Amino acid sequence: MSVTKLELRTALGPVYRDVLPYQPRDCTPDEIPVIDLEPMFSSELSDRKKVSSAIKAAAVNNGFFYIKNHGIPAETIARCKGQVLNFMRQPFETKDSIQSHKYSKYFNGYLGRRKAQVSPSETADVRESFTFRYSPELDPDHPKDISEVPDEIRPWIQGEDFVWEGTEHLPDFKSDLVAYWSGCLKLARKLVRMFALSLDLEEDYWDSKVTHPGAETQEEIKKEFVGLGSHTDLQLFTLLWQDNVGGLQVLTQEGQWIKAPPIEGTLVVNIGDYMMRLCNDIYKSTVHRVTNESTQERVSMPLFFGLNFNCVEGVVPSCTSESNPAKYEPISCGDWCQMRFKMEAKDFAKNESKKLIAPSAVIVAG
């Protein structure tokens, strides 16, 4: 049996995973379960614990699950998706006027096809994306004025206005995107409590650390095969809405690609690298990719959710013992993310410059 090696980028350098030589197959309900969030909204702790134990079972297995009854109205999702299409269907020059590489300090804005490569083993990503990040004035739960943001957090606020200024001509674009983002952010703040419970921590363990979190959405549209190469996500967890086209695949611990098809009315949740680190590797940040085999364009809308970027966190107490000491030093969620973003951007620029040199090299050699 010929196993292939897949190289992945992490904040700490490359890691390698074995992949079995079999075609991707459909997932089973055990591999990526559907978790009903209805009991999460109950005032009974015993109800909420039902949700947290289902999350734990999924998190130690493949680190992926669907959630239903999540409370984000279908109308909010549909309006946001419509706006993603309105934006993406504009002429390239209009989109490129808010290009991330040119105008953003923090990777916000538009990124065109093949302008990034998340996986060093695969091709550049053919997705187009529009990204915006947490800004206090958009927060549905907390004071909105930047002057009220604590001093130690303010330098980590990474929302940028140019993304909204360059889309003002699209009616309701900002309000529709922010409505979806706010729904996801409120939901993520509830889910982080379920994660705390699932780790035998107090339910409010992270509450004071997600007041101004790394909360970023990256509306994406993918038209060709390797939409987005193999990678893990970075922060605590990701909430992902995908349309009905399909194409998301997840790599099991055994090295088999399984398909995570769209299920009407659900979002997908997956664990990120920072959560895996805080859990001493008990919860799995799982490799995934998107291959759009259809001829249709595919829209997905992830929210990447983490702690306030200034929070320096180590392994949580419930995940260590005398025989299983902490494997990782504390690090801030912001530093953790910046390390990988920078590495990805640097590698991409290096490869681009190689491509620029290559044509003349070929002529000389020929």
What residues make contact with ligand AKG under the rule CB under 6 A? 218, 220, 228, 233, 240, 242, 248, 288, 290, 300, 302
Q: Where are the alpha helices (DSSP H) in 266-332?
A: 273-278
Compute the radius of gyration of the chain from its Cα atoms: 20
The packing angle between helices 173-198 and 74-88, to 10°, is 130
Q: For residues 161 and 181, what is the distance between their CA atoms, to the nearest angstrom?
A: 16
Q: Which does 285 bind (CB under 5 to 8 A by kind): Fe ion, ligand AKG, none?
A: none
Which residue, 52 or 62, has its beta carbon nearer to ligand AKG?
A: 62
Q: Which residue has the tokens 């995940």?
A: 319
Which residue, 211 or 266, has its beta carbon nearer to Fe ion?
A: 266
Please count the residues of the chain: 366
Pair of tokens at residue 151: 């001093």
Would you call 257 helix, strand, or coil by DSSP?
A: strand
Which residue, 82 or 261, has its beta carbon nearer to ligand AKG?
A: 261
Can you list the positions of beta strands (E) in 112-163? Answer: 128-133
Smallest distance from ligand AKG to CB 272, Å: 9
Q: Which does 248 bind (CB under 5 to 8 A by kind): ligand AKG, Fe ion, none?
A: ligand AKG
Which residue, 205 or 257, has its beta carbon nearer to Fe ion?
A: 257
Q: Which does 242 bind (CB under 5 to 8 A by kind): Fe ion, ligand AKG, none?
A: ligand AKG
Smallest distance from ligand AKG to CB 328, Å: 22
**DSSP for residue 283:** S
Which residue, 52 or 270, has its beta carbon nearer to Fe ion?
A: 270
Pair of tokens at residue 131: 């990204």
Q: For residues 157 and 77, what is the distance between their CA atoms, to the nearest angstrom?
A: 25
Angle subtended at Cα 300 by Cα 310 and Cα 13, rounded to the nearest 5 degrees: 45
Minimal CB distance to ligand AKG: which residue?
300
Smallest distance from ligand AKG to CB 103, Å: 21
Q: Among residue numbers 218 through 277, which ones bind Fe ion (CB under 5 A)? A: 233
Smallest distance from ligand AKG to CB 301, Å: 8
**DSSP for residue 245:** T
Which residue, 50 or 223, has its beta carbon nearer to ligand AKG?
A: 223
Q: Which does 40 bind (CB under 5 to 8 A by kind): ligand AKG, Fe ion, none?
A: none
Q: Among residue numbers 16 through 45, which ones bind Fe ion (CB under 5 A)? A: none
Strand 312-313, strand 257-259: pairing: unpaired
Smallest distance from Fe ion to CB 91, Å: 28
Query: Which residues in this chain contact Fe ion in the complex, by CB under 5 A?
Result: 233
